Chain A
Amino acid sequence: MSELMNNLLFGIAYLILAPVVGGLLAGCDRIITARMQRRVGPPLLQPFYDVLKLTEKQEIAVNLIQDFYVGGFLLFVMISGIFFFTRGDILLVVFTLTLASVCLIVAAYSSNSPYSQIGAERELIQTMSYEPMLLMVAIGFYLATGTFSLSEIMHGHAAGIIFLPGVFLGLVYILGIKFRKSPFDLAMSHHAHQELIKGTVTEFSGKTLAMVEVAHWYENIFLLGFVYLFFVWSAGWSILLGLLACAVVFFFEILVDNCCSRIKWQALLKSTWLVSLVAGFINLLILMYMR
């Protein structure tokens, strides 16, 4: 019973704290990016200023259904995060996350703007690219620990990274897509690549855009949770190791973001599936053989 209460508390803490931590993380991201480009960069709280400003803008929606879908995106990202932080089922987390990204894609498709349409198509390709690897993460944990339940995975005998180094590599590779970082920021980017205007979010403005931004913070937090999952086991101090791994991976993604230009969708699809196949699938094969 106390574990149930504990899990519920974690879920509520996620709902309240994830946007705060996610926004701060986005602020750190922008400052680190600026420093890498020898700039000073914005204040740490800039992402919050941006979102709060967006809520002050006039509401212009190209159609009524758009806000509904974007709301769905936010809702399903929150729900998949709750499944994750209440230590539910890792498969459920992966599938709910897919539903969330489908909501965003449909929202982008709902307007006739060519930029938003191309953005939606590219978002679909991105989803196609990372989805197999995300599933392999879930399957990998099942093969390593014999369960899909996150609470049991977190209290295993040894860290997941020992059994799943290839799967971890694959996860770090696709995280660039989910964080919307170069070279994988095809559908939408925070930087000024402007051949697509803003891709998926071209037609969103004001509060709708603010919702996308907040959903993105939620998403970032629990994606880092996946990284965390690889480094924790029953030992108490492994929590620190997990947090450290999250920080290192996040920094690495920013570094790659600043070193790379955007790639074409063909290269995206080929490279992610190749990495998934070579690193992820071979890792899974070895695990199956060991069992």
Chain B
Amino acid sequence: MSFMKKSPWVIHYDGSSCNGCDIEVLACLTPLYDIERFGIVNTGNPKHADIFLVTGAVNAQNVPVVRQIYSQMPEPKVVVAVGACAASGGVFHDCYNIIGGVDKAIPVDVYVPGCAARPQAIIDGVVQGLAVLEAKRKLLAEGKLEELEQKDQLPPLPPQTHVKEDQA
């Protein structure tokens, strides 16, 4: 019997979010939504976390931060991109400093749409992430750590340009 799905610990990182999605993530912890019912805890420590919630797009400055947090998480791990900006850059996609969605920096497993994403949608995203987490746990339990690490490999670092090519 696996306990991975019964106790997913979450780490939340704010990329260049407008704080709309962050507040919705924190709303999940409040008495109204109370995600601790599902054993979900907000850890704040990547080494204890199973699920990485990222809000906001990645920009030139936080790419290394996002990648480092992701690398510090022990397997099995899942990334949930929360909100339109985390999915594609959203309304900020054209800004000079924005590189794009979270998937430009780290492999993303679940995308939660919305601007801002609703707490219900975030919880649903985490629950969808649990299925991925369980599949990854099975791989780890079968001793296929290398295959798993291959799967969760960091994509090549995007060119850290502060001015886009078409603007140059």
Contact = CB atoms under 8 A, between A and B. Distances in A.
Contacts, number: 78
15 contacts: A39-B31, A40-B36, A42-B36, A50-B7, A50-B9, A53-B50, A56-B3, A56-B140, A56-B141, A58-B74, A192-B41, A192-B43, A198-B45, A202-B45, A209-B48
Contacts of B38: 42
B33 to A, nearest CB: 9
B44 interface: yes
A57 B45 CA distance: 15
Interface in A16-72: 30, 34, 37-43, 46, 49-50, 52-53, 56-60
A206 B74 contact: yes
B48 to A, nearest CB: 6
B75 A42 contact: no
Q: What secondary structure prevails in chain A residues at the interface with B? A: loop
Interface residues of B, number: 28
B99 to A, nearest CB: 26
Interface in B1-42: 2-4, 6-7, 9, 29, 31, 34, 36-39, 41-42
Interface residues of A, number: 30
A249 interface: no
A41 B31 CA distance: 9
B74 A205 contact: yes
Contact of A60 (B2, B37, B74, B141): B74
A53 B74 CA distance: 12
B135 to A, nearest CB: 13
Contacts of B75: 57-58
B44 A60 contact: no
B37 A41 contact: yes
B47 A56 contact: no
B37 to A, nearest CB: 5
Which 7 A-B pairs give the minimum distances between C-beta atoms? A194-B44, A58-B75, A205-B47, A49-B6, A58-B74, A52-B3, A53-B3
Contacts of A38: 31
Given A39-B34, A43-B39, 15 more contacts: A30-B36, A40-B37, A42-B39, A46-B6, A50-B41, A53-B3, A56-B4, A56-B137, A56-B140, A59-B74, A192-B29, A192-B41, A192-B42, A205-B48, A205-B74
Contact of A53 (B7, B29, B31, B44): B7
B76 interface: yes
A203 B44 contact: no
A204 interface: yes
A197 interface: yes
